[in-house]
A and B are shown apart, each in its own frame.
Chain A
Amino acid sequence: MSRFDWLSEYLARLQDEHVLVRRGSATRLAPAHALEIDAEDWGRAGQEAAAFGCRWAGLWADQHGDLFSVFCLLEYGGDYLILCTDTAVATPLLPSHTPYYPAADRLERHLQDMFGIAFGDHPDTRRWTRHQAWPEGRYPLRDDFPVTGDAPRETPPDEEYPFPRAQGAGVYEIPVGPVHAGIIEPGHFRFQAVGEEVLKLEERLGYVHKGIEKIAVGRDPRALARLAGRVSGDSTVAHAWAACQAMERAAGIEPPPRAQALRALLAERERVANHMGDIGAICNDVGFAFALYQFSRLRELWQRRSSELFGHRFMMDVVIPGGVTADLPREAAARLREDHRALRAELRALYDILEDHPSLEDRLLTSGRLTQDTARRLGCLGYVGKASGQGFDVRQASPYPPYDRLPVAVPVFEEGDVAARMRVRMEEILAALDFLDRLLETLPGGDIGCDMPAPEAGAEGIGFVEGWRGEIVTYVRFAGAGQVARFFPRDPSWFNWPALERIVLGNIVPDFPVCNKSVNGSYSGHDL
């Protein structure tokens, strides 16, 4: 299939709907195709995209003087399409995509909170990200808002968030969080339940809003890569890679092959470590502590090797613009292959136990089902999508180096339950180990980095990387002197958190923790 062979058909449909495409560009935000349209056509273009079958994959905005540029990312068959439009800062108003794409809900509210861009006919007008931190009319991502921030010394309590309530005999409400008993991030969950059955769950996130998008402004590329590595600590490699990819595209350079290969090595190591941690944690949430300790042990050994080779257990700050900071010593490849062999043997024994354990099966099979249709409409990514028939994986659908020369197997299941989400992780670990072996065999020589020239003012770039949670998209625009003017990392959690609200419906309250763990959304990556 040739790339973008579907685009002409979509354009024809837009024409039928009298949507005027001002300009199309295949280079501006390559590898994505950018289409500039009018603000009043925004809703119809979204509606047509939904009818066409595009996946809605992100939304962000940027300020250029008295205009806001708004970008909407769509994906079809592995090709990315970006709708762009402008709206005046004085009267920022756009039609909403939420009626056609439930996935658009929270990102549109995020944009409304951060920029003050109103989305007409959006079904939900409540604040999402900014809680009560800023008074009405203050929008932190506008240019007139200082990077140092001007939040009040004490943020007023977020008490005016109206949760819809279920009513009836025996219905009761359980508020959980934002502070939890475990060592996890903060987030609030509001349950409406009858007896033990969950009628409704509503999430309230935003408690770890750090102003990442704002504090990125004015940074140089190296500092932005550091920041990107802290968007979500467990995905530090993937986020840093996506940011570097965007910056390198903005600067018009391509890192040397060895650097690309080493980045993939780091990213796959990150995937293996996190998946192992998750499998143990899922089992522990149903009281099967044996698996937790075994997988924790394997993950710890794995992370110690990462620390030994790359100086950090999570491999933070190894990916930098132009390449990576640490080379893989010649003799290390053999040691890593030996690690993989030993890990495979251990995993085989553990998988045998997990797959043939009736009391574990009883808890995981059929728990927390996400139907394929819901997963598709929500645009679920990573293991959440792959467990419900949505096999999208950037490494396969839109491969970037080195995945273009070394394809990786993508497991897809259709059951959509907790067991399937665990199963995807188990298979992805094995696929990653196979990939790593092939990568080490064919590791190119040469430099591990190249100089990155300061991108010119107005240069933009976009990065697409498959992190362990799923597709990460990063948009970067530069101002003059190689300084970042806009940074937007879109973590896959934006589309997986809403899935959790659907997953628990009809399940019993005590099964929520395991459903939540099987989704394991990032609070930090989502709250930004």
Chain B
Amino acid sequence: MNASAWLLVLLQALLFLLGAPLLVAWVKRVKARLQNRRGPALSQPYRDLYKLFGKETLVAHTASGVFRAAPYIVFASTLLACTIVPLLAARLPAAAVADVIVLVGFLALGRFFLALAGMDVGTAFGGMGSSREMLVSALAEPAMLLAVFTLAMTAHSTNLASVVDHQLASGLILRPSYLFALMGLVLVAVAETGRIPVDNPATHLELTMIHEAMILEYSGRHLALMEWAAQLKLMLYGVLIVNVFLPWGIATRITPAALGLGLAAVAGKLLLLGVLLAVAETGLAKMRLFRAPQFLNFALLLALLGLLSHVILETGA
């Protein structure tokens, strides 16, 4: 069991790597359709990554080692975070050794280095991006922890596999705590992955950027890794939302048929989530920056309500 399970972890990581650009392309495509445009082909992000990996990597002469190391650290930590999230199957050995707190930790590590890299070269835009990223994440992280703690309290475990198992075992029950936690997590995901209304992934205006401002100085393979890491993060949050809150379809036994069904289920759910994201991004303008804390406070409040409603309504039974 062990060897094949670890193989599955590798397979999952591979699927994350390959699927993340596709998810981004899908959201772009749906958005383009909603705006009466044809939009780029679904293969475009792959071609972009291929192009960037083949390009010369320029580094500012004021850059320190942090700037050079950051793309690898950001990419690696995001990928490691991805291995913890159940994509196809619930019972993963990786999930057993690393729980959801480690997941948040990996993301925090990546963000820490991303922000450092933004400030490292010393341009005004990078520093601005880093300070804004910190403003957003200082509120997003606790909200995300609260949301997953709500799940953990129900499942009596911070292990994501156990949470999924518990979800599957208890069947489709409408829990207020889950609803609140889900809403909180969706808001956090929007902020953390730099989507409208918090950040605009399509803008060219340096003064308005958050995520893009930090990676403005990157080029070549460094930029490719940063871009890929951002795509992974979007998929990670997507999978977290669809597989932890609506885990039906996920493989509970490691057989080809079950895994195939798991793949089809998660792909379908992600595509649907992508459509929802595209619709929201088309219908909303970006918020003023000083509204972002309010937006995340709201996420925090929702997650807290989830936790409270769990304690009040769902314990003691």
Contacts and interface: CB of A to CB of B under 8 A. Distances in A.
A174 B284 CA distance: 29
Interface stretch (A6-14, A282-290, A319-327, A470-478): A282-290
A459 B173 CA distance: 89
Contact of B196 (A181, A287, A293): A287
B287 interface: yes
Contacts of B208: 285, 510, 513
A454 interface: no
Contacts of A196: 289-290
A173 interface: yes
B124 A173 contact: yes
B200 interface: yes
Given A174-B124, A508-B288, A513 B207 contact: yes
Contact of A294 (B36, B283, B290): B36
A287 B204 contact: no
B207 A512 contact: yes
Interface in A84-101: none
Interface in B199-215: 200, 202-208
A176 B207 contact: yes
B124 A286 contact: no
Nearest to B216: A181
Contact of B285 (A173, A286, A297): A286
Given A173-B124, A174-B128, A509-B128, A286 B286 contact: yes
Nearest to A174: B124
Interface string A292-305: 01100100000000
Contact of A511 (B36, B128, B283, B288): B288
B62 interface: no
B290 A508 contact: yes
Contact of A290 (B202, B282, B291): B282
A181 B205 CA distance: 7
A288 B31 CA distance: 12
A182 B209 CA distance: 14
Question: Which of A182, A288, A294, A357 neighbours the largest number of chain B CB atoms within 10 Å of its CB?
Answer: A288
B71 to A, nearest CB: 21
Interface string B172-209: 00000000000000000000000011001011111110
Contacts of A336: none
Contact of A360 (B282, B285, B290): B285
B126 to A, nearest CB: 11
A155 interface: no
Question: Which of A294, A297, A509 neighbours the largest number of chain B CB atoms within 10 Å of its CB?
Answer: A509
Given A173-B124, A176-B206, A513-B208, A359 B35 contact: no
Contact of B289 (A173, A289, A294, A508): A508
A387 B290 CA distance: 26
A510 B287 contact: no
B204 A283 contact: no
Contacts of B61: none
Given A174-B128, A513-B208, A362 B37 contact: no
A181 B124 contact: no
Contacts of A502: none
A181 B34 contact: no
A175 interface: yes
Interface in B30-89: 31, 34-37
Given A181-B204, A181-B206, A362 B287 contact: yes
Interface residues of B, number: 29
Given A174-B124, A290-B34, A293-B36, A182 B285 contact: no
A134 interface: no
Nearest to A297: B36
Given A176-B207, A508-B289, A509-B128, A293 B37 contact: yes
A363 interface: yes
Contacts of B197: 287, 359
B35 A175 contact: no
Contacts of B284: 287-288, 359
A173 B125 CA distance: 11
Contact of B205 (A293, A360, A513): A513
Contacts of A182: 204-205
A289 B202 contact: yes
Nearest to B31: A289
Contacts of A512: 207
A510 B282 contact: no
Contacts of B203: 287
A293 B286 contact: no
A274 to B, nearest CB: 20
A352 to B, nearest CB: 14
Interface string A168-205: 00001111100001100000000000001000000000
A175 B286 CA distance: 24
A153 B289 CA distance: 45
Contacts of B202: 289
Interface in A487-528: 508-513
B205 A288 contact: no
A359 B287 contact: yes
Contacts of A288: 284-286
A363 B36 contact: no
A283 B207 contact: no
B47 to A, nearest CB: 22
A509 B207 contact: yes
Nearest to B208: A510
B161 to A, nearest CB: 38
A509 B213 CA distance: 13
Contacts of A174: 124-125, 128, 207
Given A294-B36, A362-B287, A513-B205, A287 B200 contact: yes
A289 B282 contact: yes
Contacts of B288: 362-363, 508, 510-511
A492 to B, nearest CB: 24
Contacts of B205: 181-182, 285, 513
Nearest to A173: B124
Contacts of A289: 31, 35, 202, 282
Interface in B262-282: 282
Nearest to B195: A287
B203 to A, nearest CB: 7
Interface string B11-41: 0000000000000000000010011110000
Given A181-B205, A359-B285, A509-B128, 5 more contacts: A175-B124, A182-B205, A196-B289, A359-B197, A511-B288
15 contacts: A173-B124, A285-B205, A287-B200, A287-B284, A290-B34, A290-B35, A290-B282, A293-B36, A297-B36, A359-B284, A359-B285, A362-B291, A363-B286, A509-B207, A511-B288
Closest 5 CB pairs of A and B: A287-B286, A288-B285, A510-B208, A181-B204, A174-B124
